[in-house]
Amino acid sequence: MAKIVIVGLGTAGISVCLTIRKKYPKNEVTIIDKKEFDLLHSCGLPFLLDGRVDSPEKLKYTLKISGIKKYLNCEAIRIIPEKKDIETKNLKSGERENVSYDSLILATGTTPFIPPIPGLRELKDKRAFTIGDLEGVARLKEVAKKAKRALVIGAGATGLEAAVALNKKGLEIIIVEALKSLLPRALDSDMSEILEEHLKKKGIKILLNKRVERVDEKSVTIDGKEIPNDVIIISCGVRPNSELAKKAGVKTSDYGIVTDERMETSVKNIYAAGDCVQVSSLIDKRPFSAYLATPAYEQGRAVAMNACGGEARYEGALASFISLIADLEIASTGFNKDQAESHGYEIVEGKVKGLTKPRWFPGAKEITFKVIADTKTGKILGAQEIGGEGTGWRINIVSLAIKANLSLEDLSKVEFAYSPATSHIPDVLLTATDLALRKLKT
């Protein structure tokens, strides 16, 4: 019987626990986590802010698996690899205890990044908030009740979801993004413009290629102009929690903890999974940070098997992404145009606007779909989609196509089911693929 110790109980940690209990039930599992409860569904925090999730308790999950020892409200202080020990500290009592392991799995997640804007850090948790935990969202909701004007720094998914939530509460919203478009990691500028116009129609002001220069008690400064402000949401990305690993001699990078395909680190018997790890692109094997639940869950399954003496490989990630922002589903997978070109690809694009059902059938929704491929091989590199709720499933088909190394020609031959009550013929995905294919052949 092996002793498996997991540090961190997020998506990856839960996946590890479930896999071990299904496949290796005789092993002893110990969890070390800073929270007072098991799992927080952190992706639901913006929806707790807007009220669609009506109670914070609904975002908590208790791991109901027998035989698992939990050190909750407890921090992992130090790893001692030569002794196969990890030193822990109880965050309430201060008591310290060493826990031994045969295999150690680090699933330490990330921490929100606070940009070095003068005055911002001093106002954190007073009128400047990240969307990272229940306590922060609760304080934000209280401050927002008395606020009239909100600033969102950063145009990633969490920031946009929070902006829409506060907009629904009647606040004046300004979104400031240092890059040229909304959701710059996921969307090309031409696709982002669709979302931008949609948000502007709801009264949300968007400032692109701009930076916040200073934050004061009742205002912010942008481009030398002082703007009155009551509440700030900081949505500037995250950084991997890799210090514990680094101090133990584990190799790390700017992207996180470095592992091999078995999710084992540079130190024997220490593994890592989830947002704290560096992943490789499934397209060209270059390293990057995924910071998404689906790769974390898949990594957790692989690392659980390997830590217990089995054999599994994690091949890499595509950063397949979806979000619901102001009644629009935004989805992407693989490379966008800028990413593909920066990785040395010459690309061909197929972008079309269509409907989810025949125009004459009630409930048809508009959808814009874009597929990107390599001009030399025709291999699919990525795709993006913007449409009404329920349209984002097409991204999963392209994700599978990339994983299967399919070309535009291959994807154009996929047989779709059709009924006017549920779909359009041809589907917008196939229309975009055919357009890219025609461009490729001319």
State the catalytic residues.
43
CB 178 within 8 A of CB 115: no
CB 41 within 8 A of CB 61: yes
Length of the chain: 442
Shortest CA distance to 406 belongs to which of 432, 433, 435?
A: 433
Calculate the dihedral angle through the C-alpha atoms of 85, 87, 88, 94, rounding to the nearest 10 degrees. Answer: 150
Using DSSP bridges, classify how beta strands 205-208 and 172-177 pair: parallel, antiparallel or unpaired: parallel
Question: What is the C-alpha separation between 4 and 81, in angstroms, rounded?
Answer: 14
Task: List, edge to edge, every strand of the sheet that includes 225-228.
Answer: 212-215, 219-222, 225-228
Q: How far is CA 364 from its chain centroid?
A: 29
Q: What is the CA radius of gyration of the chain?
A: 23
CB 117 within 8 A of CB 215: yes
Give, as one character, the DSSP assignment of residue 314.
-
How many CB atoms within 10 Å of residue 36? 11
**Token match 């948000």: residue?**
199
Enumerate the H helices of 114-201 as residue ranges.
134-145, 157-168, 189-201
Continuous segment of H or E residues that includes residue 155: none
The dihedral built from the CA positions of residue 403, 252, 131 and 148, taken in this order, carries a sign that is negative
Residue 205, phi then psi, degrees to nearest 5: -90, 135
Produce one character per residue of 328-348: b if its CB has 16 or more CB atoms within 10 Å, e if not: bbbbbbbbbbbbbeeeebebb
CB 87 within 8 A of CB 80: yes
How many CB atoms within 10 Å of residue 307? 30
Question: What is the C-alpha separation between 358 and 227, in angstroms, rounded?
Answer: 47
Shortest CA distance to 328 belongs to which of 236, 202, 179?
A: 202
